[in-house]
Amino acid sequence: MKTSTPDTARSKPAPFFINRRAFLRTASAALALSTLGSHGADIVNGKTRRVGLIGAGWYGKSDLWRLVQVAPVEIVSICDPDTQMLAGAVEIAQQRQKSKKAPRTYRDYREMLKEKDLDIVLIGSPDHWHALQAIAAIESGADVYLQKPISVDVLEGEAILASARQHKRVVQIGTQRKSTPHLIDAKKQVVDAGLLGKISHVDMCCYYHMRANGNPPVEPVPAYLDYDMWTGPAPLRPYDGIPHLRWWRTFMEYGNGIVGDMCVHMLDTARWMLGIGWPKRISSSGGIYVQKDGKSNISDTQSAIFEYDGLTASWEHRTWGAPNDPDYPWAIFIHGEKGVLKASTMRADFLPLDKSTQPIHFECLYEKEQYPEDVTEKAIELNAAPATRRHMLDFLAAIEQRSRPVADIEQGHISTASCILANVAMQVGRTLSYDPAKKEVTGDPEATRLLRRAYRQPWKHPAVAA
C-alpha cells in the first residue's frame, strides 16, 4: 500500500510534483481549519496526541488513517478480537505514523484502557459493542470518536450521554455529513438562505442492495478469532463464518438493520440542516417481503414517519428493486413551498419551482491529489474521506477548546434513538412518543420495556436509572 511521504523525506529537496502535493495538502487542511476558530493552528501544530483504536475492521481503520492525515498523533494501541485483523492494522500503522513504531495490540478493550495512557480513543467495532466500549473509554479519561449508530438500544445511548457529561469528555459521532463540504454549502446557500421557503416535508431513502442474505453452514471458529469476545453482550449465534466482514449487519442481534445503519445518517443530516431535535411521534411498518430465502432477520422493506411540529420526515428502504431517483439512491429530499433540495453523499441539487430562478448544483469534493494515499487505500470511500478529515479536525478543535463538536454525543443519541424507536414501533405495530426526560415511551409499558435489550452474561447493561 502506498503511504504518505515521511516528514524526514519532506525536509530534503524533492521533485516539483511532491512539493505541489504537500502544498495542496497544507492548503486543504488550512481551508478546513479556517472554519474552526482561533485554535485551528493548535490542532496541527500542537502536541502529539496518543491514540487507541477499538475495532480494526474496515471503517475503524479508515477513521484512524483520516486522523493520521490531519494531525500529529501516535497510534499507541489497537484492539480487536481477530488477530489477523490486528496484524494488518499494525502493519499499516507502522507505515503511516511518523515514529514508525508498532502499536501495542489487545484482544480485550478493557486491558487496553486499563493503561490509562490514551488521549483519544476511536471506536469502530460493531454496533452491539458501542455503548460498553464508549463508556469505558470515557471513564479512562480519553476523548472519544464513536462510529454511528451510537447504540443498539435507546437506554444504552442515554447511558453514553450521561457518562460523557459526567466525565466532561468530548465525544464526536461519525455522522460526518455535517462535515461534508458540498452539503455544508447546500445548507448555507439553499436552506439557510431561505430559497426553499416554508419547509414541511422531508423524504429520506436508501435503495442499496446491501442486505447480506445467505445460508452458510455452521463451522468451527478459527483459532485467530476470539468469537466469545467478538460477541460480547449480544446473543451467541452459532458460528457460520467471519461475522465482522459485513455479515453481522444482516442480524438484529448486533444492530438495527438498514434503518439503524443508513437512516441514522440521513435523519441526522435533515435534523442538522433544519435545526430540529427529538421527533414528537414515530411510526413504522415493514418486514421481510422479498428476500426470504436466507438467514438474515433484518427487514428488506421498511417505511417510517418521524413527526415534528409542522413537518414530517419519512424514511423508506428497499434492498431490492430500483431506486426512485437513480441519481439519489441514498439521499434526503427537503421539500419547500418554493422548491426541493436533493442531497446525498455524492451531490446535491436545488430545483426551484419558479422557472425564473436558477437551479443550483453541488458536486462532491475529492482530494486525491492532496492525499494520494487515498487512491491506493483498500476499500476506501473516496467521497467520504474529505468529510471524515474535516470531522476529525472539528473533533480536535473541540478537544482543544473543551467544547461540543459538530456531531456531539447528544445529537448522535437523538438520531440513533429515533431510528431504534422506528424499529420498536414496527415491532409493536403502533405509533410511539418517546420522553427523553423520563426515558420511557409515553403511555406504552410494552414499548418502554423494549428500550433496553437483554445482555448475555456476564456483561452488564449500562442503562441509567430513570
Residue 87 lies in a domain: yes
Whether residue 292 is found in the same domain as residue 415: yes
If asked whether residues 161 and 210 sit together in one domain, one would say no
**Is 465 among the domain residues?**
no
Determine contact, residues 55/86, Cβ cutoff 8 Å: no
Res 345: pLDDT: 98
In whole angstroms, what is the distance from residue 89 CA to residue 52 CA? Answer: 12
Instruction: State the distance between the two ends of the chain, measured CA to CA, in whole angstroms.
Output: 50
CA distance 86 to 75: 13
Q: How high is the pLDDT of residue 4?
A: 32
Is 462 part of a structural domain of the chain?
no
SS3 annotation, 39-77: CHHHHHHCCCEEEEEECCCHHHHHHHHHHHHHCCEEEEE
Alpha-carbon distances, residue 169 vs 48, 121, 403 (angstroms): 18, 11, 9
**Statement to judge: residues 123 and 260 lie in one domain:** no
User: Which position has the grid cell 499499516?
Assistant: 92
Do 172 and 271 share a domain, yes or no?
no
pLDDT at 464: 58
Q: pLDDT digits over 279-294, tens only?
A: 999 999 999 999 999 9
DSSP 8-state symbol, 324: S
Containing structural domain, residue 405: 7-178+380-409
Claim to verify: residue 387 and residue 422 sit in the same structural domain: no
Q: Are 295 and 333 members of one domain?
A: yes
pLDDT at 17: 33
Cα dist from 90 to 76, 131, 330, whole Å: 10, 25, 33
What does the alpha-carbon distance between residue 222 and residue 75 come to, in Å, rounded to a whole number?
Answer: 28
User: Does the residue 459 lie in any domain?
Assistant: no
Same-domain status, 17 and 32: yes
CATH number of residue 167's parent domain:
3.40.50.720
163 and 46 belong to one structural domain: yes
The CATH number of residue 421's host domain is 3.30.360.10
Q: Examine the domain organization and report whether 41 and 71 are in the same domain.
A: yes
d(CA 295, CA 214): 6
CA-to-CA distance for 187 and 195, rounded, in angstroms? 10
- Asked if the structure places residue 362 within a domain, the reply is yes
For β-strands 171-173 and 330-336, DSSP reports them as unpaired
325 and 387, same domain (yes or no): no
SS3 of 425, please? helix
What size, in residues, is the chain? 466
Between strands 49-54 and 73-79, the pairing is parallel
What's the domain count of the chain? 2
Pairing of strands 73-79, 104-106: parallel
Contact (Cβ atoms closer than 8 angstroms) between residue 136 and residue 160: no
Predicted TM-score (pTM) of the model is: 0.91
Specify the pLDDT at position 11: 30
Q: Is 2 contained in some domain?
A: no
User: 280 lies in a domain?
Assistant: yes
Domain contains 241: yes
Q: Which three cell numbers stand for residue 335?
A: 421539500
The pLDDT assigned to 47 comes to 86
Same-domain check for residues 190 and 268 = yes
At residue 350, the pLDDT reads 98
Averages of pLDDT over each 10 residues, the chain, 466 residues:
30 33 48 46 68 96 97 97 97 94 98 97 98 98 98 98 98 98 98 98 98 97 98 98 94 98 98 98 98 97 98 98 98 98 98 96 96 92 97 98 98 98 98 98 98 97 71
Tell whether 227 and 156 lie within a shared domain.
Answer: no
